[in-house]
Chains A and B, each alone.
Chain A
Amino acid sequence: MSITESAKVAIPEPRKISTVPRFSDRVFRVVVFCGGLSALIILAAIAIFLGIRGFSILSQTGLRFVTQYEWYSAINTDGTAGEEGSTFGIGAMLIGTIITALIAVVIGVPIAVASALFLNFYAPNSLRGFLVAVIDLMAAFPSILFGLWAFNILMPSGEYWAKILHKYLGFVPFFDVSAPVFTRSPFIAGIVLAIMIIPIVTSVSREVFSQTPLDRIQAAYALGATKWTMIKAVVLPFGSSGIVGGAMLGLGRAMGETVAVFTVLNIVFQANFQVLLGAGGNVASLIILKFGEASIEEINALMAAGLILFLLTLLINMAADLIVNRSSRKGR
């Protein structure tokens, strides 16, 4: 039979195969599906509950909630009204959150990426296992441990290096200080956060670097590349979006960190761009600071602050996941 003849034969519709699952399987699927929905439900519930509680404050203050620097609760803790009206603004805290998190990324990401390169391409096998274990263990350290260590051990060194930075780079506005107070500064909080995000950025970068196609690495070597020129021409272009995604994951973690920052940072309700000066803020530590003695109204304001922190970190995390996943899926 020739090809043209066979084309005349009517091609049948593909049969639909339907399976009626057994009752037990249907129960199984429903149960697993409900479990699978838990992440969605919890995330939605967080947004809804914090939104309901924070709504009264947010509707009153509007946009000023994020632009205003002042945080003042006029109602005394025993419920009696204070003399003036309350003002709730997290502007200074938001700025502080972003500054400390950015310092963390600027310091932590280069160290983490270099470590990932060292682990994947330089370290001998014996050393690699040990270093990976240490860095992974670091990810499991409680944040209060980092806070306590930073307050007692890191602070003096941080102060010393802050003074050196100020002495030689003081002409840069960021490194200027209006008062010679170098402890409990955003700079030192940023260093702690940098240390805390190193594990996650390292592991994301390592993951992406390890997917670099071997044939491309070999092609570079066959063209007479040294290890470094190979990394620059092949590994870094391949892993660039993984690095960006990892850095954003780190940024998200740094913005949400509470206890370590609260322990180290001197919280002041002013926008402070002098990173070496001992005054700063962070939305999460604001919540801890004010929660203990807050009135009902102030608690609602704290809930609104929590909602904004939640949405901000969620957004950054989602963007980071999209970037990392895209980089690991595409072939380049």
Chain B
Amino acid sequence: MSDQVKPTSLASIAGNRVSRTPGSAPLGTGLETRNLHAWFGKNHVLADISLDFASGTVTALIGPSGCGKSTFIRTLNRMHEFIPTAAMAGEVLLDGKDIYAAGVDVTKIRLKVGMVFQKPNPFPSMTIGENVLSGLRLAQLKQSNKEELLEECLKRAGLWNEVKDRLNAHGGSLSGGQQQRLCIARSLAVKPDVLLMDEPCSALDPGSTLRIEETIRELSKTMTIIIVTHNMQQAARISDYTAFFLADGHPGEMVEVGPTSEIFARPKDQRTENYVTGRFG
């Protein structure tokens, strides 16, 4: 994997990949934001984001720190509202339905839109197997053949071969990269259509990062993935589409979005070009 990609430029990495057209993947659900704004107290952190995530694609969100990328993906599964001062405006449509509409059960949204965090965070009081199936317990879902589901999730997360003999060991006994793949497996168990990943590799070493990237590419065949990353090479390697966010003294906004190869090879906006060529940020 690593010897295959000897990057000369980001554009060439991205150019190797053919972006799939929206709707071509058999599975997954479309997610879409319309004029989305976000606030923390009086602080306007995200302005007017309208973005379509086609089903079965990987979209990377890039941009300097503090540009609102993380806030943005946290609005997509309603984790935004955990901050007491948070507020928003606009719509987030999942399958054409506004997830912020009155009467929507927030736990059901989070089952459809899963999330993997920056730091691997398996539940330390549970074994590896229990961790994978913890979503069933937490969301009180019924599942008949748990063994099968466990195996399937661990296989999809690329962890099965490493842990199949010690499913009863504690989650904390795994390495950092394995823990993160365990967290991915855990999100898969509740069968989400969309997986949000907030810098999932920033706490990992390069080897583990590549394993996770393989997993992401594997998963993208069956679900929609939205990934926040600081690593532009990673964005170029794994994503079909890239959106560039920037907060330049204003609330964070989306400067440009397009097929990843376009963004890295022929950005339309000068600010995007400055960023992807490393002139700032």
Contact = CB atoms under 8 A, between A and B. Distances in A.
B183 A219 contact: yes
B121 interface: yes
Contacts of B123: 216, 219-220, 233-234, 237
Interface of A: 125, 213, 215-216, 218-226, 229-230, 233-234, 237-238, 331-332
A226 B117 contact: no
A232 to B, nearest CB: 8
Contacts of B84: 125
B22 interface: no
25 contacts: A213-B121, A216-B121, A218-B79, A219-B121, A219-B186, A220-B123, A220-B134, A221-B79, A221-B82, A221-B110, A222-B117, A223-B110, A223-B111, A223-B114, A223-B139, A223-B187, A223-B190, A224-B139, A224-B141, A226-B107, A230-B138, A233-B134, A238-B125, A332-B124, A332-B172
A331 to B, nearest CB: 8
Contact of B134 (A221, A223, A238): A223
A128 to B, nearest CB: 12
B135 interface: yes
A222 B79 CA distance: 7
B108 interface: yes
Nearest to A213: B121
Interface residues of B, number: 29
B14 interface: no
Contacts of A230: 138
The 6 closest A-B CB pairs, nearest first, are A224-B139, A237-B125, A225-B138, A222-B115, A223-B135, A224-B111
Given A229-B137, A229-B138, A332-B172, A222 B187 contact: yes
B50 to A, nearest CB: 24
Contacts of B187: 222-223
B121 A224 contact: no
B44 interface: no
B125 A225 contact: no
A129 to B, nearest CB: 14
Given A332-B124, A332-B125, A224 B172 contact: no
Interface string B178-200: 00000100110010000000000
Contacts of B139: 223-226, 229
Contact of B117 (A125, A218, A225, A331): A218
Nearest to A230: B138
A328 to B, nearest CB: 15
Contacts of A221: 79, 82, 110
A209 to B, nearest CB: 15
Give chain A's interface secondary structure class.
helix
Interface in B102-126: 107-108, 110-111, 114-115, 117, 119, 121, 123-126
B140 interface: yes
Interface in B211-264: none
The listed residue with most A CB atoms (<10 A of its CB), out of B138, B139, B190, is B138
B110 to A, nearest CB: 5
A222 B140 contact: no
Contacts of A237: 123-125
A230 B141 CA distance: 14
Contacts of A222: 77, 79, 110, 114-115, 117, 187
Contacts of B125: 233, 237-238, 332
A138 to B, nearest CB: 28
Contacts of B183: 219
A223 B82 contact: no
Nearest to A236: B125
B134 A224 contact: no
Contacts of B82: 218, 221
A121 to B, nearest CB: 12
Contacts of B190: 223-224
Interface string B11-54: 00000000000000000000000000000000000000000000
Nearest to A229: B138
Contact of B138 (A213, A218, A220): A220
A229 B140 contact: yes
A39 to B, nearest CB: 35
A219 to B, nearest CB: 5
A223 B116 CA distance: 10
A214 to B, nearest CB: 9
A174 to B, nearest CB: 33
B242 to A, nearest CB: 24
Given A218-B79, A218-B82, A223 B121 contact: no
A93 B160 CA distance: 60
B270 to A, nearest CB: 37
Contacts of B115: 219, 222
A229 B190 CA distance: 15
B101 to A, nearest CB: 18
B15 to A, nearest CB: 34
A129 B246 CA distance: 39
Nearest to B170: A332
Contacts of A225: 107, 138-139
Contacts of A233: 123, 125-126, 134, 137-138
Nearest to B140: A229
The listed residue with most A CB atoms (<10 A of its CB), out of B115, B121, B172, B187, is B121
Contacts of A226: 107, 138-140
A33 to B, nearest CB: 40
